[in-house]
Structure 1
Amino acid sequence: MAEKLPVLFLMGPTASGKTDLALNLFDHMDVEIISVDSALIYREMDIGTAKPDRETLEKYPHALVDILDATEVYSASDFAEDARQLIDQAHAQGKLPVLVGGSILYFKALAEGLAKLPEANAEIRAEIEAQAEQEGWPAVHARLAQLDPASGERLGPNDQQRIQRALEVFLMTGRSIDSHWQEQKALELPWNLIPVALMPEDRAQLHQRIELRFKLMLEQGFEAEVVRLRQRGDLNLNLPSMRCVGYRQMWQYLEGELDWQEMHHKGVVATRQLAKRQMTWLRSWQGAEVIDPFGENLFKKTLALIPRI
């Protein structure tokens, strides 16, 4: 039986240095960088997503970056289908596929498949949306956390789409969405998967990097970027693109719902909460090689995990 070809997963929380590591690997190996990021898929959303600049993308091409308009929706199953094709193409060219990003659900969809969940229930969804309209999504999140603590911890209080789906599944089945995922049969992957979890041991250092990154985004013109998006007239806060961390807070500032300091504070806090959720997911990833991205010899430690193609 032919030996399985390797696929490297570089997973980690936001601002943990994943992209820099991928670029370093590109400089030393024949790799294909495949982005695993539910925000980088959108065109015209560059500053607030910390997207590599044009010069970097020309030197280090990233697949699955700038593939959609901000009005479009891209599911985990869409990603899995696209990523499989890109992995096969990379292997055919003798390259190592390096999948890098922080959208852990995308990684899981590719590695494990997606659970068979009950179809949407219009009546239950209407009831959830009515509660959200009256009390706000944080109240719906609190309800979910009481019924399904694992989902409550994993999801942020304004992650409307996922809160609604997790609560809907629980109300329909009496079981957490996690329990449905755990029942799915493991996929027999055609590759030798090498999952690397970049997990900072120093949480304070990660928080500092997050705050500095948000400050830099503001200095680079993040406000003007969101102004341009709002002026298009076809976007709103119910779209997945505009629910990305930072964009929601800046949109609310431009609507007059927040002042500048509130926007800045809420943007940083939301990013920290995202990083916490990402690390919660990663801690449950069985078999992942855990490396501190802020420790010594990050590149050498990662390189040592990769077999020769």
Structure 2
Amino acid sequence: MAEKYLIVIAGPTAVGKTSLCLRLAQELRTDIISADSRQFFRELNIGTAKPTPAELAQVPHHFINTHSVAEAYSAGDFERDALALLDQLFVEKDVVLLTGGSGLYIKAVCEGLDDLPQPLPGLREELTHRLREEGLEELQAEVHRLDPDFAATAEVHNPQRVVRALEVFYTTGRPLSSFQENKKTARPFRTVLVALERERPELYGRIEQRMDAMLAEGLVEEVRGLTAYRQQHALQTVGYKEVFGYLDGDYDYHEMTRLLKQNSRRYAKRQLTWFRHQGSFRWFGADDYAGVLGYIRESTLGYFDLY
């Protein structure tokens, strides 16, 4: 039986993952699985920078517009569903692409999630109440003090993960990051891990241009229409929470725009930190298509022909 390969194309927001993956999928005659934790949701379009309908039509995509934002959908759920899909795709394909900027979701598919302890009774409820009453920044500051390694990752912007980090610490006395050294779960496929990067000024310029384009496309109107769901985790993230603050009258349009760009730059920086912390990614310039394709050929040499 031929070896099967999952090609991971990761990187920060706005680096250029979509365009490169479209070229790769066409060259390799395969499908793309999205590992973006917000592109699952049908109601979230402009603020998640989903591929356009024309891009989606070029090659088969999976896990885009598959769920409602009203549903809870975790990294564990994604691990289960993505592995089931890969079993199907690998029947006829030797290689499949997985792409996105959500490090935890990529880790879930490639390695499995950590076997973490159950929290003390009532602790989750207490921390959730604190999150609601004190706000995410207060709990983030606590995590920075108790688990600086976790605080250095992009997951510190995820309220559920922040609550989980505090749960683990107050249940075991150990930081969440100390549990992330567990043995990887064996998979029936090999992984080829690629991360894309750009010079920081160029990346930040692309982020700011993207935010301007989102606002011009109607981001504020999209967020206004999602008010009924604003307590969902996906809407407490960069690109949505800043607009809710504007709609609440906390600041004006100019300040909202500044915060959107600032927080998106900070999020990209934390994404880069996450992927570099993993240590197993091969880094390429986002425009180095030939280099990425050559590395994939090198990493899969002898198992099948790439077109």
TM-score scaled by structure 2?
A: 0.91
Residue type of the alignment partner of 1:269? Q
Rounded to whole Å, the distance in 2 between the matches of 1:190 and 1:18 is 25
In 2 relative to 1, CA 156–288 (structure 1 residues): closer, same or farther, beyond 3 Å? closer
Rounded to whole Å, the distance in 2 between the matches of 1:157 and 1:215 is 25
1:1-309 superposed matches below 5 A: 2-94=1-93, 96-133=95-132, 135-155=134-154, 159-182=158-181, 184-200=182-198, 202-230=199-227, 233=228, 235-236=229-230, 238-294=231-287, 298-306=288-296, 307=300, 308-309=304-305
Residue type of the alignment partner of 2:82? A
Q: Contact 2:14/2:206 (CA < 8 Å) preserved in 1?
A: yes
In structure 1, runs of 5+ residues without a counterpart are none
- Quote how far apart the aligned CAs of 1:128 are: 3.0
Question: 1:208-248 CA deviation, whole Å, 9 max, x = no partner?
Answer: 11111000000111111112222xx3x12x31221232111
Residue type of the alignment partner of 2:276? R
Q: Contact 1:138/1:158 (CA < 8 Å) preserved in 2?
A: no
SS of corresponding position for 1:175: coil
In 2 relative to 1, CA 106–212 (structure 1 residues): closer, same or farther, beyond 3 Å? same
Q: Contact 2:7/2:194 (CA < 8 Å) preserved in 1?
A: yes
Q: Contact 1:71/1:241 (CA < 8 Å) preserved in 2?
A: no
SS of corresponding position for 2:48: coil
- Quote how far apart the aligned CAs of 1:62 are: 1.2
Residue type of the alignment partner of 2:185? L
User: After the TM superposition, which parts of structure 1 deviate over 6 Å for at least 4 consecutive aligned residues?
Assistant: none
Rounded to whole Å, the distance in 2 between the matches of 1:156 and 1:302 is 27
In 2 relative to 1, CA 155–196 (structure 1 residues): closer, same or farther, beyond 3 Å? closer
Q: Contact 2:169/2:176 (CA < 8 Å) preserved in 1?
A: yes
Rounded to whole Å, the distance in 1 between the matches of 2:136 and 2:79 is 29
In 2 relative to 1, CA 126–188 (structure 1 residues): closer, same or farther, beyond 3 Å? closer
In 2 relative to 1, CA 155–120 (structure 1 residues): closer, same or farther, beyond 3 Å? farther
In 2 relative to 1, CA 91–292 (structure 1 residues): closer, same or farther, beyond 3 Å? same
- Quote how far apart the aligned CAs of 1:3 are: 4.5
Count of aligned positions: 299
In structure 2, runs of 5+ residues without a counterpart are none
In 2 relative to 1, CA 8–163 (structure 1 residues): closer, same or farther, beyond 3 Å? same
Rounded to whole Å, the distance in 2 between the matches of 1:209 and 1:43 is 25
Query: Mean alpha-carbon deviation: is it higher for 155-164 or for 276-285?
Result: 155-164
Query: Mean alpha-carbon deviation: is it higher for 203-212 or for 57-66?
Result: 57-66
Q: Contact 1:156/1:274 (CA < 8 Å) preserved in 2?
A: no
Rounded to whole Å, the distance in 1 between the matches of 2:82 and 2:168 is 27
Q: Contact 1:249/1:263 (CA < 8 Å) preserved in 2?
A: yes
- Quote how far apart the aligned CAs of 1:160 are: 2.0
Q: Contact 1:155/1:163 (CA < 8 Å) preserved in 2?
A: no
Rounded to whole Å, the distance in 1 between the matches of 2:262 and 2:219 is 17
- Quote how far apart the aligned CAs of 1:69 are: 0.6
- Quote how far apart the aligned CAs of 1:55 are: 2.3
- Quote how far apart the aligned CAs of 1:120 are: 3.3
Q: What percentage of aligned pairs have identical amino acids?
A: 35
Question: 1:239-273 CA deviation, whole Å, 9 max, x = no partner?
Answer: 12212321111122112122112211111122112
- Quote how far apart the aligned CAs of 1:4 are: 2.0
In 2 relative to 1, CA 25–79 (structure 1 residues): closer, same or farther, beyond 3 Å? same
Q: Contact 1:11/1:197 (CA < 8 Å) preserved in 2?
A: yes
Question: 1:264-294 CA deviation, whole Å, 9 max, x = no partner?
Answer: 1111122112211211111122332111215
In 2 relative to 1, CA 47–134 (structure 1 residues): closer, same or farther, beyond 3 Å? closer
